[in-house]
């Protein structure tokens, strides 16, 4: 089976290369053979991998989110059949792949695959919001408006957050967050930001999702919180935070700091605040199909895999207008 794949072949180097995929004669009992339709770039993790900040050797074939068609199933797979469209967790930027059935969720009928593909990365933002357990009418602040933050913000709006405040240096993203349900949006370098946020939230924000991945963002967030507030650390900084005044900013005000890496969730049996990855992906796709969550507006460009070097260059150059980049793997007639 001949196809294509996007590889990080060296530090900062992206190439689209041929893929000679050897179709397995017999699949493992709970594996599924897939043909990719769309993949979504996850800029934070993929940039770290591209520049060697996560270790490992080159070449690397990354990928987080995909939609694909089922080609063949192992003998113990009853949930899927050939022709089904599925959402794929921890996929690869490649034409074909084999995944365990536990990493797949069926895409609902009527949901466009290029909108569904956001539900993997989106679930990572959603789980951070779940962990702070926002209540109806409670102010929520989302820090960082990448894909995780954008979807976490929309989910907060749907959960009754008020006022919903977002932070990002990028004016394009701030404006988009306002279009998608935020009540106020600021740049982190706004003069007297803490005072403004405290005024809007009547004393401080009780619930914060930190999705910037910046090591010092937690200090900014702590300065704007109300006593007994909760902050979920969703973004992966991968570098230490130099200093936190735990006595003044955490201990005395009674702040809860919640580690919210995506792996901190059950593998089965969702419970309040901690849903499984598959349940979150399924819930998000239903919300997207119903028009409650908008991922169409998060799409910057849908490009063929051959344009991968140019697409990643936009992230490397910190193009302010780029957000959601999708690769289209479908064979053109």
The pLDDT of residue 55: 84
Across-strand partners of 67?
A: 38, 87
Q: What are the residue boundaries of the structural domains of the chain, listed by start?
A: 2-118+295-328, 122-259
Q: How far apart are CA 136 and CA 123, in angstroms?
A: 21
The pLDDT of residue 245: 93
Check if CATH label 3.90.180.10 holds for domain 2-118+295-328: yes
Is residue 269 left, alpha or beta, with left meaning phi > 0 and alpha meaning psi from -120 to 50?
Answer: left
Q: Do domains 2-118+295-328 and 122-259 have the same CATH topology?
A: no
The SS3 call for residue 23 is coil
Superfamily of domain 122-259: NAD(P)-binding Rossmann-like Domain (3.40.50.720)
The pLDDT of residue 333: 47
Cα 200-121-264 angle, rounded to 5 deg: 85
| Size of the chain in residues | 333
pLDDT digit string, tens, across residues 177-194: 999 999 999 999 999 999
Q: Which one, of 117, 130, 79, lies nearest residue 270 by Cα?
A: 130
The pLDDT of residue 26: 87
Alpha helix ranges (H) inside 171-319 = 171-179, 193-200, 217-223, 246, 277-289, 308-316
Cβ neighbors of 207 (< 8 A, separation 6 or more) are: 132, 133, 134, 138, 139, 140, 141, 161, 229, 230, 231
CB 15 within 8 A of CB 309: yes
The tens-digit pLDDT sequence of the chain (333 residues) is 899 999 999 999 999 999 999 888 889 999 999 999 999 999 988 999 999 888 889 999 888 899 999 999 999 999 999 999 999 999 999 999 999 999 999 999 999 999 999 999 999 999 999 999 999 999 999 999 999 999 999 999 999 999 999 999 999 999 999 999 999 999 999 999 999 999 999 999 999 999 998 999 999 999 999 999 999 999 877 788 989 999 999 999 999 999 999 899 999 999 999 999 999 999 999 999 999 999 999 999 999 999 999 999 999 999 999 999 999 999 774
C-alpha 266: how far from its chain's center? 18
Cβ neighbors of 274 (< 8 A, separation 6 or more) are: 127, 130, 131, 264, 265, 266
């Amino acid at each position: 089976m001949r196809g294509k794949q996007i590889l990080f072949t060296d530090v900062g180097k992206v190439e689209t290369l041929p893929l000679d995929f050897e179709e397995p004669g017999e699949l493992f009992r709970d594996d599924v053979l897939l043909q990719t339709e769309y993949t979504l770039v996850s800029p934070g993790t993929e940039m770290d991998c591209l520049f060697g900040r996560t270790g490992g050797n080159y070449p690397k074939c990354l990928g987080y989110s995909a939609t694909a068609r089922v080609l063949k199933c192992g003998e113990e797979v009853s949930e899927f059949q050939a022709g089904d469209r599925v959402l794929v967790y921890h996929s690869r930027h490649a034409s074909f792949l084999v995944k365990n059935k536990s990493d797949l969720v069926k895409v609902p009928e009527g949901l466009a695959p290029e909108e569904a593909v956001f539900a993997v990365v989106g679930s990572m933002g959603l789980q951070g919001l779940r962990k702070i357990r926002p209540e109806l009418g409670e102010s929520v602040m989302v820090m960082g408006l990448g894909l995780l933050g954008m979807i976490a913000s929309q989910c907060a709006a749907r959960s009754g957050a008020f006022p919903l405040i977002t932070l990002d240096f990028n004016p394009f993203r701030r404006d988009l967050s306002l279009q998608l349900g935020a009540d106020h949006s600021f740049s982190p370098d706004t003069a007297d930001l803490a005072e403004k946020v405290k005024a809007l939230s009547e004393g401080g924000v009780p619930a914060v999702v930190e999705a910037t991945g910046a090591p010092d963002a937690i200090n900014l967030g702590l300065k704007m919180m109300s006593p007994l507030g909760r902050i979920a650390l969703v973004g992966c900084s991968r570098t230490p935070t130099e200093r936190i005044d735990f006595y003044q900013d955490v201990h005395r005000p009674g702040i809860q700091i919640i580690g919210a890496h995506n792996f901190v969730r059950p593998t089965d049996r969702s419970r309040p605040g901690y849903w499984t990855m598959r349940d979150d992906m399924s819930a998000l796709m239903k919300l997207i199909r119903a028009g409650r969550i908008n991922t169409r507006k998060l799409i910057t460009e849908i490009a063929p895999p051959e344009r991968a070097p140019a697409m990643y260059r936009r992230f490397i150059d910190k193009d302010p207008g780029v957000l959601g980049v999708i690769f289209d793997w479908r064979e053109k007639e």
